[in-house]
Amino acid sequence: MITDLPAFPLDHLPLFGQADAPALVIRDRVYSYKELNLRIGRLAAWLMRAGLAPGDRVASWLGKNEIACLMPLASVRASLVHVPVNPLLKAAQVSHILTDSGAQLLVTNAGRGATLEPLAQNKSGLIGFTDEKEVQAIIDDPNAPVLQPLPAETDLDSLAAILYTSGSTGHPKGVMLSHANLALGAVSVAQYLKLLPDDKTLAVLPLSFDYGQNQLLSTWRAGGCVVPLDYLTARDVIKACAKHRVTTLAAVPPLWVQLIEQNWPEDAVRNMRRVTNSGGALTPSLVKMLRSIFRGGTDIIAMYGLTEAFRSTYLDPELIDENPTSMGKAIPFAEIMVVTAEGLDAAPGEAGELVHAGPLVARGYWQDSARTAERFKAAPAFSDYGGLAVWSGDTVTRDTDGLLYFVGRDDAMIKTNGNRVSPTEIEEAAVESGLVAEACALGRKDDWLGAAIILFVRGSGDDAGLKAYLKTKLPNFMQPAEVVWLESFPKNANGKLDRTTLAQNF
């Protein structure tokens, strides 16, 4: 049973840093923790004056600028719910997120706002867009009002954010995260990564992902400094590591594949204390390559997580060379179980579903009771923690030492380039083109991407036209690596498209 959990509102995270210590680096401007809290307060005060009521949703569709970094904390300080939107998404996906969340305000730039405005006016009921330049001017204004941090007695179960993650059956679904989920998640990661006040984290992952957002929160919990980076090439990442004397770098396998092919000068690795991986399993060869670059005192830490439970497992870095494919064991404040089809505790070596219980479990899917009931269910009878648990849909095994290993997924999600991609969303876009009568998207193993998207279609045969249409409707990471035109699709006994046969035959 987990007891004596640290309890505080999410908004209190930056208060753990020393007032004059560096907290955030934006375009070579270093902000101290005192300045960070002040600027969060200005942004929060502006949000309160925007005509929003407590509990309203405020969305941000931004790159890794200062506003994007402050919004998670400024929103909750203003008693609002933050909805971060992946900057790589296109108008159709963003419009769905805004509509589904009922966002009352969107902070973005003028170019992005212009692409969305017709959709937003007709569907999402937004109060309106606010250009990031206007918001930045408020944050920079020394005379702007400042809202003070939330009181310590804030309801920790109240909603703090909705993070949208792809679903296997279509549009992204919003995962509801509380103050306790996010704040305790920051405590957990800061603890097992052993983050220190003099650590510098290079934040290269999208802040709309739980893994990416936690780059900020866990570092601030430890009193360290975050350097956000929107990079174009792997070389940009390496140069930033050298320039800022980075100690902590998190990435997903496809980015690691690109990074290990580059030359790493000594000044880029000299200060590196830890590199972390999630969003897909490491391979033995990748671990060896990482070890050849990050020598000496650099820890290589493999992790597994899902947005519905934030993070589930990590592998002790001392074990990774001998167990490079392991997911490790439960992170602090999590109970991880391997459950058989009969609901029993799986024996060592026996496959079962990974089930996560404890205070990191999210509150379900926003306004979607049906899908919530499918994924969020009572913990198994043998659970120590009990209560509501996340049934991941992932099949795993546990060895005699308690180390977990991933076996496979129970759904059709495609894990590509560090992103969970819904095949249905790609298929629907293809059919909407008018060039395709039927479509099926599958993942094919790829050393660079983890899985490459292969789109099977039946229709006009206009390959160039279909690809051009998909580029206007889907973000880059959802574009198929290959389009295969078929005269007919295999069907099962129920007349449904037979994905298994299609995958086996092609």
- Domain of 490: which CATH number? 3.30.300.30
Query: Could you tell me if residue 422 is inside a domain?
Result: yes
- Assign 126 a pLDDT band (cuts: 50, 70, 90): low
| Euclidean distance between CA atoms 188 and 245, whole angstroms | 24
Q: What is the pLDDT of residue 383?
A: 97
Q: How many domains does the chain have?
A: 1
Name the residue range of residue 466's domain.
416-505
pLDDT one-digit tens code per residue, 418-430: 787 878 788 878 9
Residue 494's CB: how many other CB atoms inside 10 A? 6
Query: Could you tell me if residue 45 is inside a domain?
Result: no
Buried-state track 241-251, b at ≥16 Cβ within 10 A, e below 16: bbebebbbbbb
- Assign 333 a pLDDT band (cuts: 50, 70, 90): very high
Q: What is the pLDDT of residue 434?
A: 87
Q: What is the pLDDT of residue 415?
A: 83
Please name the residue ranges forming H helices in 102-251: 110-119, 132-140, 179-192, 210-221, 234-244
Query: In DSSP terms, which residues pair with 203 in a beta bridge?
Result: 228
Query: In DSSP terms, which residues pair with 442 in a beta bridge?
Result: 454
DSSP 450-472: EEEEEEEEEE---HHHHHHHHHH
pLDDT one-digit tens code per residue, 225-246: 999 999 999 999 999 999 999 9
Q: What is the pTM of this model?
A: 0.84
Average pLDDT over residues 271-288: 88
Q: What token pair was written down for 50?
A: 């925007």
Q: What token pair was written down for 134?
A: 């206007």
Query: Could you tell me if residue 454 is inside a domain?
Result: yes
Of 53-67, 108-122, 335-349, the range with the lowest mean pLDDT is 108-122
Query: Could you tell me if residue 428 is inside a domain?
Result: yes
Q: In what order do the strands lie in the sheet with 482-485?
A: 436-446, 450-459, 482-485
- Assign 12 a pLDDT band (cuts: 50, 70, 90): very high
Is residue 152 predicted with pLDDT exceeding 80? yes
Query: Could you tell me if residue 58 is inside a domain?
Result: no
Q: What is the pLDDT of residue 122?
A: 43
Is residue 191 predicted with pLDDT exceeding 70? yes
Query: Could you tell me if residue 457 is inside a domain?
Result: yes
| Euclidean distance between CA atoms 217 and 494, whole angstroms | 48
Average pLDDT over residues 58-71: 96
Query: Could you tell me if residue 374 is inside a domain?
Result: no
Average pLDDT over residues 69-88: 96
Q: Using an 8 Å Cβ cutoff, are 201 and 224 in contact?
A: yes
- Assign 496 a pLDDT band (cuts: 50, 70, 90): low
Query: Could you tell me if residue 348 is inside a domain?
Result: no
Please name the residue ranges forming H helices in 367-409: 369-375
